[in-house]
Structure 1
Amino acid sequence: MRNLTTTLHRTATIALLALFAFGLAACKKEEAPKAAAAAPVTAPKDGNENAWQAYASDVVKRNMDGVTNSPYVYFLPEESSADFQGQYDAQLDKVKTDITRGILEGNMLAFVSPASAKMADLVTAAFTGIEPNTMKGVKVLFIGQAADSERVKAAVAPAGVTYVFVEAK
């Protein structure tokens, strides 16, 4: 009887070790090589809205570090598009409304347009009168021309945001 108990104990131990080894082997599956990072999308050379929105999406995704929520993305078409002024006014109103409601830490506001100077005007107007340091931990991403970056930076700085500029090229 003692030999039977010892044999059962050894069999059970071997079975448990086999299960453990199998489980460990399953955890250590060879990882597939990671796909190479996709090349950045280049800024469109024309005012094609779909191309600009795809470009904006790519740039926003590449700048999500530290952002814990879905970004607010604001887009203006080129100035020659139909009803540009109406779209500008609507975007300005939307940005002001969003800021007035409050943008919490971990969020991103991204601004992009083939009309970089007009988007810089919009950002500057939207941030006029913002209480100092009310947007700490919020990232503002401006995608445009280098000539417009400094005035956007100056407009958003009092709010206490983290400013990121990506040149549309």
Structure 2
Amino acid sequence: MKSITRALLVACLVLPAIACSKKEEAPQVEAAPVAVPTTEDKTAWNAYLNDVAGRHMEGVNNSPYVYLVPPASADQAPAADAAAAQEGADAPAAATGDTGPTMTMDGNYERLLDKAKTDVSRGITRGNLLIFAGLDSARTANLTIASFSTVPAGSMKGVRVLFIGAAADNERVKAAVEPAGVEYVFVDNAA
């Protein structure tokens, strides 16, 4: 009986040591990036934006500000979005009786533009991430540019701005946001 007890005791002491020495490290596998949605499906966009945000959160202390720009309705003129991008420069036109782009834009875009302009103009503090994305890259670029139209130079140091769109819109968005002192990141939605 003593020999069985001793054998069990030795087994209890030796087996964990053997198991620890044979510990195999599981390889760290990075998850494949989520594909860019090609439709207006909000669930697909949420999954994509969560994935992209997770890949760009280094040094970010807070939840990101996400601006998912809705695509233009079929009856909407593309010129209205371009006018929104120039809204800061069009102040004299409004004084001459022009009602501006808000009369021709759909409500969702107008509300998002107002929210983005308000958020950016009140000041975003260091350690934050702003994500601008949407199915229509030009429209997303116009909203991003309009949002930064009144931001003082150098006022947003330490803030990361992520623009998800087409390469054709990259340079004009970069030129509009970098004077604010932000760290600009471009993600090509064609990839």
TM value normalised by structure 1: 0.76
Tell me, which stretches of 5 or more residues in structure 2 are unaligned?
Answer: 1-22, 77-104
Rate the CA distance shift 1:82–1:103 in 2: closer, same or farther, 3 A.
farther
Gaps of 5+ in 1: 1-29
- Does residue 1:138 correspond to 2:159, yes or no? yes
Pair 1:54-2:75 in alignment: no
Q: Work out whether residues 52 and 114 of structure 1, in 8 Å CA contact, stay in contact via their aligned partners in 2.
A: no
Once the two structures are superposed, the pairs formed by residues 120-159 of structure 1 within 5 Å of their partners are 120-159=141-180
Separation of aligned partners in 2, 1:64 and 1:85 = 32
- Report the equivalent of 2:29: 36
Cα drift, residue 53 of structure 1: 2.3
- CA shift at 1:85, angstroms? 2.0
Higher gyration radius (CA): 1
Q: Is the 8 A contact 2:134 2:164 kept in 1?
A: yes
- The separation in 2 between residues aligned to 1:85 and 1:35, in whole angstroms, is 46
Counterpart-to-counterpart distance in 2, 1:109 and 1:130: 14
2:185 to 140, 164, 167: 164
SS in 2 for 1:143: strand
Question: Cα gap change, 1:67/1:31 in structure 2, threshold over 3 Å: closer, same or farther?
Answer: farther
- Residues 33 and 100 (structure 1 numbering): CA distance in 2 closer, same or farther, change over 3 Å? same
RMSD between superposed Cα atoms in Å: 2.3
Aligned to 2:118: 97
Q: What is the percentage of aligned positions where both structures have the same residue? A: 51
1:85 aligns with 106
SS of 1:140's equivalent in the other structure is strand
Q: Deviation of residue 31 (structure 1)?
A: 8.1
Distance 2:50 2:75 in 1: 23
1:159 and 1:97 map into 2 onto residues whose CA distance is 15
> More deviation in 61-70 or 33-42?
33-42
Q: 1:49, 1:77 within 8 Å by CA — same for their partners in 2?
A: no
The answer on whether the counterparts of 2:73 and 2:106 sit within 8 Å (CA) in structure 1 is: no
SS of alignment partner, residue 106 of structure 2: helix
Corresponding residue of 1:8: none
Matched AA of 1:120: A
Return the offset for 1:78: 2.2
For the Cα contact (< 8 Å) 2:162–2:184, is it kept in 1?
yes
Q: 1:49 offset after TM fit, Å?
A: 2.5
Q: Closer, same or farther in 2 for the Cα pair 1:158/1:40, shift >3 Å?
A: same
